[in-house]
Structure 1
Amino acid sequence: METSLDPRPDIEKFGRTRAPDEDALIDGVHILTTILLIATLVSSVNLPFGEAALNLLLGSGFAVLYFYGTALQPGWREGTSLAWLLSLTMLWVLAMLMSPVGIYLVFSLFFLYLRVMDDVRGVVAVVAATAASILTQVPGGLTVGGVMGPAVSAAVVLAIHYAFRTLVRINREREELITQLMDTRLQLAETERAAGVTEERQRLAHEIHDTVAQGLSSIQMLLHSAERDLQRLGLSEEELAGPTRFIDLARTTAKDNLGEARAMIAALQPASLSETSLESALERMAAGFAAAGDLRIEVGVEGAERQLPMKTEAALLRIAQGAVGNVAKHAEASRCRVTVTYEADEVRLDVVDNGRGFDPAAVAEQPAGLGHVGLDAMRRRAAEQGGAVEVESTPGHGTAVSVAIPVPADAGAAATLEPETPTEEGV
């Protein structure tokens, strides 16, 4: 198994990810340590031969152990890292006793303590090293500078470490937020695209129903009337054979084309409503939004449930999707309830949440496209069905969206697109 000797691995000990800016800080500490080591070694010039040789040995040992350790330490176990720090600390104490310049190596140790022990132990180690650097000066006499130097250095390093960690945390939070925003943007784009496709399919289905299907049904009725009037003319069977054959052929062709038109309409209507009830479609929609976030969504039905015209059910489903989507994206709610109420002359949809709420008047005053596009789309869909949308909300007390669409009492009988061709055979 290969062991990486890269001094700047992607993953620090204990699974902490190193930020790119942290590499810059570590490189800066390396440069500082190199300068301090050079100063320590150069100070040997002013020492007796024996002490100079020992000072060179200690400084060289500190340099080798420091740079070797910083290259491999991220992959070490905690015990090995602590033993490495202890060894460096002992070399520093000996170097400090041999040459006063060696005291400045404590700068490097401060950063190492806080890097390896990124908790209260690192702070304790910094305080202990500061105390040691001050105590070693006692035999020669303490001065204000001798005390303030290490103390201020420790305070500066602690402040740098705290500020750097804060910046790294903020940077990571911003990166996560940007990632979430990009993901949300992609989801919204996909949702809007899907909604646009569905709306266009609905429009096409309605157009085919109102033009082609209705026209073919009318043609069949007219052909049936023409055949009936032709039979009342008192013509012989031979005289009626030709016209009747062409009328039957035209009726058959119209019937086949009407069947194809109905198949197209069925394929274009919302998949969630094609084979199930409105309640089931709403429950699947709610399950999808609930799974995407920490939101509990309940769906309920009040009144005698009945089949509604396809246009009405599709409009209610899309309005519910828009309202619940707003709850999931903006309300910061934990619960939401969707209720469909069937009454004698109308059907009502209510979406209520316990979120943060908002000021509907303030939102309405904003320019188009700045926060109320979803509400405008709901109102437009409801208006197309002769209904209206009401929004009640107060900041901090949730939101209630209610839409009421008038439905004739016999709408259930007319919910299908068109009856079969109205001939005496029940075609």
Structure 2
Amino acid sequence: MSSSLRLPGSPLPDEDALRGGIHIFTAVLLMVAVATSFQMSLLDAALNLVLITIFAAAYFLGSIYVDAWSEGKRQAWVLLLTVVWISEMIVAPVGIYLVFTLYFLYLQVFDSLQGGVSVVFATAAAIIVQIPGGLTFGGVMGPAVSAVISLAIHYAFRTLARISDEREQLINQLMDTREKLAESEHAAGVVAERQRLAHELHDTVAQGLSSIQMLLHAAERDVFEGPERTTQAVERIRQARSAASENLAEARAMITALQPAPLAENSLRGALERMAGSFGAAGEIDIAVDVEGEQRPLPMGTEATLLRIAQGAVGNVVKHSGASRCRVTVTYEADEVRLDVVDNGRGFDPEVISAERAGLGHIGLSAMSGRASERGGTLVIESAPGGPTAVSVAIPDARRA
């Protein structure tokens, strides 16, 4: 069941998917609570079923209509669910697990302060209700750890929303700059500039957003697979925040100097390793970076071209290949430098892809070939259905020619 529930402030990335996951998780918990009725006396079982029915009806119906309600009605809705939840815990101890659902509702319906206070209250209620039967370490740590994880996930999603808004503003500035260039350049120059900017956006912003999206989907899956996966979920969220920060730096660098941000701070190898780490974490792929031959300084244009081609090739591996391993190799020859990206994925027919109309799905291949040609190099793609796939580019070293 889809929900119209929205968080205060900026909408969060993949918010609909998160809410859908919470609905599924809640439904499973309610079914477990119903199953416990078979172990109760007739009177307790009847009361348990009544409370579960009230909670389910209030939760799912409220999730549909909550956006049309005033703030007072939304708070009354959450208060009703809280009262029913406490009653359910008294009748059936398994009802304590519904606190996870309430944590997210508190943080969604209330502002940050009220939501945090409500989470603390629910945690205390979940612990106090266990006192008559005797407290255990697990009984205390379960609600407490769940509360901390819920707060961490909520904070991470809100932070990503803020970073995404800032990135959108930077992209808008970049698009404005492109429009001004189009007005002042010859028609042929306008077409070339549009292609260049499209390639930059594809290799940086689009690839970064794709990486963040995959990390968030993986984190969401880990959260709902059980408490034992929560540490991994939090780590994925940290990786998504790191990827968002790097992508923001890329956009700023494009606006200020149009120089790849990783190369401004690292060697070519260092920039490739950072790129491989980010894509590897997002796609859960083992990506290794090797350097052969004696490393030497290259013209900035050559290093930027190699990095962008590597980003495009590895991005395609993560999104399309279904590979489990990928290797990026930079080889320094006497008069040229070569970049090879090889994966063990499903492969494809290069002739079919080349014949298809260039669009968002294939701009990466044309961008890589165009970048190599601009530096006097060549790009070769070797693949076939069933894999593997190898992308190789060789660029002359102008300093050695």
User: TM-score, normalised to structure 2's length?
Assistant: 0.45
Q: Which structure has the larger Rg?
A: 1
User: TM-score, normalised to structure 1's length?
Assistant: 0.43
Task: Return the structure number with greater relative CO, CA threshold 8 A, min gap 6.
Answer: 2
